[in-house]
Amino acid sequence: MNEKAINEIMEGVIKSVVEQLSENAPHISVYEGSSETIPVELSARHVHLSEADAIELFGAPLTPVRELSQPGQFLCEERVRLIGPKGVMDNVAVLGPARTSSQVEISKTDARILGINAPVRQSGNIAETPGIILASQTGIVGLEEGVIIAARHIHMSTADAARFGVADNEKVSVRLEGERPVILEEVVVRVDDSFKLAMHIDPDEGNSAGWNKKVQGKIVSIAGGAGNGLLSH
């Protein structure tokens, strides 16, 4: 038996072992990418307003008061009241700039309190979502749709994406290294050169992970698609 034959056998054995391991743990893939960590930010409940809805509620365009981590995004001086069939939430943050359509992002906990059956969606994807009533001190607006539970996601620049070996819209599993460690699966990667590296989770996810501002995320697997350095499916 010559060296070439031995190498062929070895390759066959390695392939077979790797395949078996993948079959035994179909949702676990061994990702050989970066061990770089990702800052994890908690998105508390908030509202994005269209220009028309902002004027209806406040009689004027939105007033920036503080910049947010994603470039161009800001917290506004204005606050709104959310009115649902079962409950009310006051003093809810409004984020700018104004968008084409108003959108309300709440947690599942909030959804139960308000009595609104909000689906888990990526920001901007509000077709056939429930509506809500927004109120200020001086105005009221009824949204026909726009209430979502924001799906967890990671903002990345193209340089970040290349480093992590992931592509826009790809899903990854991320380990949060908090007091109650968890791996969040199906976290959507969103790539845009205006984005600053940050993972966004909601308060329910934060509470169940024992989140604090120091908690970091680590990509432990890529669910498929364009990712490289990927062992299984």
From 21-29, 40-48, 128-136, 189-197, span contacting a copy of itself (CB under 8 A): 21-29
Nearest to 42 by CA among 176, 213, 173: 213
Q: Which of 89, 135, 182, 188 binds a copy of itself (CB under 8 A)?
A: 182
Q: Cβ-count burial of 227 within 10 angstroms (0-12 exposed, 13-18 middle, 19+ buried)?
A: buried
| Among 10, 65, 88, 226, interactor with a copy of itself by CB under 8 A | 10
Interface with a copy of itself: number of residues (CB under 8 A): 43
Q: Nearest distance from residue 92's CB to a copy of itself, in Å?
A: 16
β-pair type (182-191, 171-176): antiparallel
Residues 192-231 that bind a copy of itself (CB under 8 A): 202-205, 207-210, 220-221, 231
CB 183 within 8 Å of CB 31: no
Contact 135, 145 (CB under 8 A): no
Closest CA to 151 of 122, 116, 110, 182: 122
Name the residues that contact a copy of itself, by CB under 8 A.
1, 6, 9-10, 13-14, 17-18, 21, 24-25, 27-28, 30-32, 107-109, 120, 151-152, 173, 175, 179-186, 202-205, 207-210, 220-221, 231
